[in-house]
Amino acid sequence: MREKPPLKFERVVERAAEWIDANPPPHAASELPSGMTLGAKHFYAFGSSFVHGYKWMNDYVGTDEDLLKMIADGFAAAVIMTECAVALFEAQAGTADTAVRRRKNYPPWLVQTVEAWSPRYR
């Protein structure tokens, strides 16, 4: 039996960022002026090295202040990607007849994104 090669999570993160760039979330439009893809690719490399304890990242980045800025940017990107995942799930979860009755399990600031993405799945 032939097995598939392991999934490359870097590519999964990149494809998710590309989807967000192609379908900008209204709730985060002002936070993504230059898109998500480039930042996601860079942060994945830096974040991976940080998580695995590689020293090269600290040497490459420079000051602690720059490192903290990168971590903050990465955290913001992770939050936006997670919000987009929730909005995408919610946009697909309801149908036109159940949308009014269905309990909303997401924060109010995601409503505009769920509403913008819902029509493509109905």
11-54 pLDDT, tens per residue?
888 888 999 999 999 999 888 878 888 778 777 777 777 777 66
Per-residue 3-state assignment (H helix, E strand, C coil) for 49-96:
HHHCCCCHHHHHHCCHHHHHHHHHHHHHHHHHHHHHHHHHHHHHHCCC
Verdict on whether the full-model pTM lies above 0.75: yes
Which distant-in-sequence residues (6+ apart) come within 8 Å of 99 by Cβ? 118
Residue 73 amino acid letter: D
Domain ranges of the chain: 9-121
